[in-house]
């Protein structure tokens, strides 16, 4: 059985309780690690990520040519030679 654990938040340094119920939820979801942040710091981090920036690195986008329509395709990974890359419109039609 699970027991409440006291953890220390990575951001603010305050102690917080990792409840038995939360531990069971983490186990059900297959999460391997305990939370590093207390709930207020997790919530603040999530909202700053939604607003963009907030100390979070922006994703680098790469421009290439769509393998289907020949148009410009911007992708969040570096395209590799020999592997087709599709623009978002062509990719959308292929995946449905």
pLDDT tens-place string over residues 42-78 = 988 888 777 655 555 567 888 999 999 999 998 888 8
Is 39 domain-assigned?
yes
Is 56 domain-assigned?
no
Q: How many domains does the chain have?
A: 2
pLDDT in tens, 18-38: 999 999 999 999 999 999 999
Give pTM, 2 decimals: 0.49
46 and 67 in one domain? no
Domain that holds residue 81: 62-94
46 and 9 in one domain? yes
At residue 27's C-alpha, the angle toward residues 56 and 55, to 5°, is 5
Is 71 domain-assigned?
yes
């Amino acid at each position: 059985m699970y027991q409440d654990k006291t953890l220390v938040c990575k951001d603010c340094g305050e102690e917080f309780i990792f409840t038995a119920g939360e531990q069971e939820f983490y186990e059900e979801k297959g999460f391997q690690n305990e939370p590093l942040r207390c709930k207020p710091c997790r919530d603040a981090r999530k909202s700053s990520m939604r607003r963009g920036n907030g100390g979070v690195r922006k994703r680098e986008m790469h421009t290439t040519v769509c393998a289907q329509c020949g148009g410009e395709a911007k992708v969040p990974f570096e395209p590799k030679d020999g592997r087709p890359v599709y623009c978002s419109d062509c990719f959308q039609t292929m995946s449905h």
